[in-house]
Amino acid sequence: MSPSDENLGLYVHIPFCRRRCHFCAFYLEIAQSDSMALFHSALVQEISLYRRKASLDGHVLQSIYFGGGTPTSLPADQLASLLTLIRATWPIASAAEITVEAHPTSVTVQDLTILADAGFNRISFGAESMEDKDFASIGRFGQVQDTAVAVQAARHAGFSNINLDLMYGLPGQSLQDWAHTLESLMMLAPSHISCYALTIEEDTRLAQNIARNLVSPPDDMLQIDMESAAERFLAQEGFSRYEISNYAKPDCACRHNLLYWTGGEYLGLGPSAQSYLHGIRFGNVADLGAYAACLNDNRLPMTDHTTLSVSERQRDALVFGLRLLRGVPRTTITAAERDHQIEALIAKGLLDADHNWVRLTSLGRRYADTVAEQLF
């Protein structure tokens, strides 16, 4: 096995949701049986074209991630057969991490048993909050009780590696509400938690509601306090923060997402999925009709294709690597004049460095992209 084989992942983008949450700007389609059937046959064809191109020959998949959208919009047996097809197409490491994202309302214990039996060994639920009152203003359907039932069902089906996504800084959410959400989450005993600050994306219903003064915008200072509260509380509960938004119990850091932050290679399938292979970044068209039409015509549905220069790879290594709490090796920042820049950022309290590693401080994490740009 070559060194790059250790870091190869497969991402499958399933772009369906029952309806769009008010804050969500992802490419997605509202789940309907005819569009899901069109997607499924196009995805099978995309896998077949990649097999014929042999572009992954010699690689062993270390992680597979079914994301969305809501992958569990598709029937569980269809997800299981897609995973079987992937297994028949590419070699997969025996200890590979195989994740499926799910909305808590979209799965039954029978579905989860089918998924676990098929080989999915990690599940990620969009919990968002553990207070029902937080859901209306962000247009997230379902109730807190659904999350509790789904986690219990997942555990019953055999999943032990369970992630729960949370958002903070929601309209009307106080610091006490956030503390309550974190405490309530502990009763579900997840192995991994992602905490995302609510951001307002253009052209979303939430952005429109804020513009019309129907909903209050996020308060930056409150979000900073919430972030600190999460870090303190989750550390007490045995979670280590390993990335700006991610906390894990020992050995439960998400190996697939670590690929993105450490320059690993990945192939993305499905509309809008992104890939990075052999130094080339490329993406699929973000439109189901165009995606299916290309594949029906025996063409891969790529829209862009960029070979990264050495300097672009170094920049990516910095921008993504600094998201990790451990930071980046000092050798990632090569030019001698950057030592001055590192010292200047240390003096501002944004960076911390030792002989071998450079990492963001808690203040620096709030300005991660800006700090990375200054180092490049």
Residues that bind ligand SF4 (CB under 6 A): 17, 20-21, 24, 26, 28, 68-70, 103, 126
Q: Which of 17, 288 has the CB closer to ligand SF4?
A: 17
The nearest distance, CB 26 to ligand SF4, in angstroms, is 5
For residue 120, give Cα distances in angstroms to 20, 97, 123, 265.
Answer: 26, 8, 8, 21
Minimum distance between the CB of residue 126 and ligand SF4, rounded to whole angstroms?
Answer: 5
**Could you tell me the smallest distance in angstroms from the CB atom of residue 70 to ligand SF4?**
5
Is the Cβ of residue 31 or residue 80 nearer to ligand SF4 in the bound state?
A: 31
CB nearer ligand SF4, residue 24 or residue 288? 24
Residues 6 or more apart whose Cβ sits within 8 Å of residue 244:
323, 365, 368
Cβ nearer to ligand SF4, comparing 28 with 318? 28
Which amino acid is located at 73 in the chain? S
- Return the residue matching tokens 């097999």: 51
Q: How far is the CB of 20 from ligand SF4 (least distance, A)?
A: 5
Instruction: Yes or no: say if 113 and 79 are a contact pair by the CB < 8 Å rule.
Output: no
What is the closest distance, in whole angstroms, from the C-beta atom of residue 199 to ligand SF4 in the complex?
12
Q: Which is nearer to ligand SF4, 14 or 61 (CB)?
A: 14
The DSSP result for 41-87, as a single string, is: HHHHHHHHHHHHHTTTTT--EEEEEEEES-GGGS-HHHHHHHHHHHH
The pair of three-digit structure tokens given for residue 179, joined into one six-digit string? 């503390």
Q: Give least dist CB 24 to ligand SF4, A.
A: 3
3-state secondary structure of 20: coil
Residue 126, token pair as written in the block = 């969009």
Closest to ligand SF4 by CB, 103 vs 323, is 103
The DSSP secondary structure of 100-125, one letter per residue, reads EEE-GGG--HHHHHHHHHHT--EEEE
Q: Are 267 and 56 in contact (CB under 8 A)?
A: yes
